[in-house]
Amino acid sequence: MFRFFQISRSGYYDFVHRLGRPEKDAALAEIIAEQRERSFRTHGCRRMCLELKKRDIHRDPKTILRIMEKYELLAEIRRRRKWGNLGQQAINTKTC
C-alpha cells in the first residue's frame, strides 16, 4: 500500500495519528472570532494581541497572525472614499 501511494510508512502513520488529535488552536480561534465580531471586523493581528492581553491570554503576535490567516479571520480593509466632484466645485466659486 505504501508503494502504491508512494509515501513512507512513517508518514502514513503520522497522518493517521494526527487525525484523532484535536486542534490546539481551535479554542483560541473561537475567542479571536468573538472579538473580531465585537470590533466590527476591524482589528488586525496587532490590535487583537492587545485585546487578548487584556483577557490575560498571552500569545506571540506571529501565532495570532497564523491563526487568523488559517481560519480567515483577518481584518476587513476599509477603502477611502474618492471625492470626485470636489475639484469642479472649487473652480466655480467666485473670489472677491
Which backbone phi and psi does 25 adopt, to 5 degrees? -95, 0
pLDDT digits (tens, 9 = 90+) for 19-29: 888 888 999 99
Grid cell, residue 13, equals: 502513520
User: Which residue in this structure is represented by grid cell 506571529?
Assistant: 62
Torsion sign over Cα 60, 61, 66, 71: positive
pLDDT digits (tens, 9 = 90+) for 37-75: 999 999 999 999 999 999 999 999 999 999 999 999 999
Taking residues 65-92, what's their average pLDDT? Answer: 79
CA distances from 47 to 26, 27, 64, 89, 92 (A): 20, 19, 10, 39, 44
CA 18/CA 10 separation, integer angstroms: 12
pTM exceeds 0.75: no
pLDDT at 78 over 70: yes
Residues 37 and 31 sit within 8 Å (Cβ to Cβ): no
